[in-house]
Amino acid sequence: MNRAARKRTAGTITLIQEERFQLDCDDGIQRLFLLSHKAPLESDELARLKSERAHVEVAYDDGPDLIAHTAHDVQVH
């Protein structure tokens, strides 16, 4: 999927386990993400963003049979 077609959401990271994380989104929904191996950050950076309670924006893809969305980018918002 090209970058322009990716979905985006914003919120704060509340849980992290390896490359998986949960985002409490601004729209009130909690979403589960799996960090893409091509994402420009590592799981230790997710931990820092969580501890800082940083407001972030996530660019992601999803599919009909996935448990979690695939996060391609996480930026401080």
Report DSSP letters for 13-75, one per residue: EEEEETTEEEEEETTS-EEEEEE-TTSSS-HHHHHHHHHTT-EEEEEEE--TT-SSEEEEEEE
Question: Between 35 and 5, whose confidence is greater?
Answer: 35
Six-digit token pair at 58?
A: 């996530």
Query: Could you tell me the domains of the chain?
Result: 3-76 (2.40.50.320)
Q: Quote the pLDDT of residue 53.
A: 97
What pTM was computed for the model?
Answer: 0.87
Q: How confident is the model at residue 77 (pLDDT cuts 50, 70, 90)?
A: confident
Instruction: For residue range 21-60, list pLDDT tens digits in order.
Output: 999 999 999 999 999 999 999 889 999 999 999 999 999 9
